[in-house]
Amino acid sequence: MAFCGKCGAQLNDGAKFCPSCGAPTGSEQAQQQTYQQPQQGYQPQQQAYAPVQSDAQQNKVMGILAYLSWLVIVPLLAAKESPFARYHTNQGLVLAIVEIAWWILSAILTAIATAAYSLGFLAVIGVISWILGIVFLVFSILGIVNAAKGEMKPLPIIGGIKILK
């Protein structure tokens, strides 16, 4: 019994072309080979957060740059094709946007407190800014350490936000 080498359909004896796909059947030896169906069982895929090791090794610097505030632009433009760099660029971009949003809000609140001559409110804004500055620094260090290790771990609190696809 012969099978088509291209699509696997059963061939009639002496057929020169496959009745299913139209491919030439080739030699007698090729016709006698058995066609093996591709396996259609469970085939595990890589997790979304598990980078290909060579990609992580090649793009560690881009992953680290992503957490250095304005330098997030470098991997955003230079490493568009790397899933590892793209992941860390997304994390760094979210962190930068949150920092900028806090700076703007802090400036507005400081202006309001100054205009109202409220030294107590101004002091509270200063303390909150100081605490958030430390939190942003810790998040940056966590991201840099993860990128340097070649890992794709989300940052606490803001790690689930996706900006880049």
Name the phi and psi angles at 10, rounded to 5. Answer: -75, 135
C-alpha span between 154 and 146 (Å, rounded): 9
Q: How distant, in Å, are the alpha carbons of 5, 11, 126, 138 from that of 21? A: 10, 11, 74, 61
Residue 50 corresponds to which amino acid? A
Q: What is the DSSP letter of 11?
A: E
pLDDT of residue 34: 46
- Residue 54: pLDDT band by 50, 70, 90 thresholds? confident
C-alpha span between 9 and 35 (Å, rounded): 8
Among 3-17, 81-95, 137-151, the range scoring the smallest mean pLDDT is 3-17
Mean predicted lDDT score pLDDT of the chain: 84
C-alpha span between 74 and 88 (Å, rounded): 12
Count of C-beta atoms within a 10 Å radius of residue 154: 17
pLDDT > 80? residue 101: yes
Q: What is the DSSP letter of 163?
A: -
- Look up the pTM and report it: 0.65
Mean pLDDT across 10-26: 77
- Residue 22: pLDDT band by 50, 70, 90 thresholds? confident
Mean pLDDT across 99-123: 92
pLDDT > 60? residue 164: yes
pLDDT of residue 16: 80
pLDDT, greater one: 116 or 18: 116
pLDDT of residue 96: 95
What dihedral do alpha carbons 16, 18, 21, 23 form, nearest 10°? Answer: -30
